[in-house]
């Protein structure tokens, strides 16, 4: 059976467009496009057969199916040739049982999907492998693409630069100057991308890169390009797969440009359409209070207005006018959606508190964990619910955030869980006293 995927307008305009065309919005109404699959042809395999196939491929070595994205190739981008695939074994990340942290919250079944355990340290790799593979095949067949370009708050640029370098494709990244971590800035530099640091925020970078993509030969790599979301939707499929093909009750997702929200929703919807699951999880989106347009829309019965994003430690989601907002709202309506926000103090404290139970959280995961804590305290998430929090990036990319917290340098953050090295002379007795004092402090702590 030949499977196929095409672009279609999310507003329902007639017509379809090949995934090989550099098109990002509907030519009729200007709304975003999405990838649509021929679900009827995919039904040539039973649900049990799909599950068996995905399990047989999972983390194996047969190219390209060892990637947890390309192991689900028929559901992602079936027309890409295997020799066009640019993959770095993305996906297959740990679904971490947060036993101790969950116990502190009165929960027995809390999990954290560590999407940052990936080649460039974020979930962006899952979508970038699909987009860059398509670009590589277009170029191999003589298509006129001179470079791929993106606006980024850090993680997208790192992923694009790495995958483009592996595929031999020039990359251009636009970053808001001074608003990304040093580690994130160095990643595209190291991979040879043209890095343009602009005196604006992400929304300003996004406006310029959209204009660039209208020029012949510049291919847009942001999540308004629906190919990216096809890779990211495999997070939902993989979560269910890792839970022995059962569905969590609640999934909590940090929200910035909001592509991830519709991507995971699409993954759950596809599994439902093909009979792999018989119910849908509730989806919670967590936003930083400093950049919370979706949270405000949630309180106005989904009436959306952009906001001016303020500085936040969660820099990757410092976005006031998210491109994928309409897709996200549609997904949340279908999945009993909740949107919660977290202040700078709440996100920093949540990240640090969870770190003390064995994690190492980026600030964006801190936003999601803070939202979980607030909803749990209000009784909106039950103690017995199976909850999965999506962790989008590695905490190793945010050393300044971590160090600032533990040195109590983050503004308006009490740093309840701060922990700094104890400086001592080279003296055994001093070491013993420090250990005894530390032990006594632990015993007296609440």
Give pLDDT tens digits along the chain (446 positions). Answer: 689 999 999 999 999 999 999 999 999 999 999 999 999 999 999 999 999 999 999 999 999 999 999 999 999 999 999 999 999 999 999 999 999 999 999 999 999 999 999 999 999 999 999 999 999 999 999 999 999 999 988 899 999 999 999 999 999 999 999 888 888 889 999 999 999 999 999 889 999 999 999 877 899 998 889 999 999 999 999 999 999 999 999 999 999 989 999 999 999 999 999 999 999 999 999 999 999 999 999 999 999 999 999 999 998 899 999 989 999 999 999 999 999 999 999 999 999 999 999 999 999 999 999 999 999 999 999 999 999 999 999 999 999 999 999 999 999 999 999 999 999 999 999 999 999 999 887 655 54
Cα–Cα distance for residue pair 177/186, rounded to 1 Å:
13
Interatomic CA distance for residues 152 and 301, integer angstroms: 29
Tokens 């959306």 found at: 304
Q: What is the pLDDT of residue 444?
A: 55
pTM of structure: 0.94
Q: Helix, strand or coil for residue 394?
A: strand
pLDDT of residue 153: 81
3-state secondary structure of 297: helix
Q: Name every residue whose Cβ is closer than 8 Å to that of residue 285 and which is 6 or more positions away in sequence.
A: 252, 253, 254, 255, 258, 261, 294, 295, 328, 332, 337, 338, 339, 340
Q: How far apart are the first and last CA of the chain?
A: 62
pLDDT of residue 442: 67
CB burial of residue 69 (10 Å; 0-12, 13-18, 19+): buried
- 231/254 Cα distance (integer angstroms): 17
Interatomic CA distance for residues 54 and 279, integer angstroms: 20
Q: What is the pLDDT of residue 1?
A: 63
Q: Determine the topology of domain 95-121+229-406 in CATH.
A: Rossmann fold (3.40.50)
Give the per-residue pLDDT at 42: 98
């Amino acid at each position: 059976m030949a499977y196929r995927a095409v672009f279609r307008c999310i507003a329902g305009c007639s017509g379809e467009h090949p995934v090989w065309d550099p098109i990002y919005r509907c030519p009729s109404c200007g709304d975003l496009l999405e990838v649509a699959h021929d679900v009827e042809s995919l039904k040539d395999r039973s649900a049990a057969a799909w599950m068996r196939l995905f399990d047989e491929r999972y983390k194996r070595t047969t190219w390209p199916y060892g990637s947890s994205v390309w192991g689900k190739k028929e559901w992602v981008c079936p027309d890409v040739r295997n020799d066009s695939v640019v993959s770095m074994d993305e996906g297959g990340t740990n679904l971490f049982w947060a036993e101790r942290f969950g116990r502190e919250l009165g929960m027995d079944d809390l999990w954290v999907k560590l999407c940052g355990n990936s080649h460039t340290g974020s979930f962006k790799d899952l979508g970038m492998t699909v987009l860059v593979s398509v670009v590589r095949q277009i170029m191999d067949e003589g298509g006129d693409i001179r470079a791929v370009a993106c606006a980024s708050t850090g993680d997208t640029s790192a992923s694009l630069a790495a995958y483009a370098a592996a595929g031999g494709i020039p990359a251009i990244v636009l970053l808001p100057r001074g608003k990304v971590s040093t580690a994130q800035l160095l990643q595209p530099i190291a991979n040879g991308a043209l890095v343009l640091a602009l005196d604006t925020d992400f929304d300003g970078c996004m406006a310029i890169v959209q204009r660039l993509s209208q020029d012949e030969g510049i291919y847009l790599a942001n999540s308004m390009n629906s190919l990216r979301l096809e890779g990211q939707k495999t997070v939902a499929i993989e979560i269910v797969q890792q839970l022995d093909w059962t569905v969590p009750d609640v999934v909590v997702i940090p929200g910035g440009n909001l592509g991830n929200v519709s991507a995971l929703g699409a993954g759950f919807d596809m599994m439902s359409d093909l009979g792999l699951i018989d119910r849908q999880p509730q989806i919670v989106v967590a936003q930083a209070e400093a950049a919370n347009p979706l949270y405000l829309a949630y309180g106005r019965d989904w009436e959306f207005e952009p906001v001016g994003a303020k500085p936040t430690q969660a820099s990757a989601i410092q976005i006031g006018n998210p491109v994928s907002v309409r897709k996200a709202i549609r997904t949340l309506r279908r999945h009993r959606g909740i949107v919660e926000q977290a202040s700078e103090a709440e996100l920093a404290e949540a990240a640090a508190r969870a770190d003390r139970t064995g994690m190492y959280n980026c600030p964006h995961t801190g936003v999601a964990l803070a939202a979980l804590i607030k909803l749990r305290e209000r009784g909106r998430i039950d103690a017995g619910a199976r909850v999965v929090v999506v962790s989008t990036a590695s905490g190793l990319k945010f050393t300044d955030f971590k160090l600032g917290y533990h040195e109590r340098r983050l503004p308006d953050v009490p740093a309840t869980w701060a922990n700094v090295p104890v400086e001592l002379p080279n003296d055994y007795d001093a070491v013993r006293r420090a250990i005894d004092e530390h032990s006594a402090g632990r015993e007296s702590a609440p």
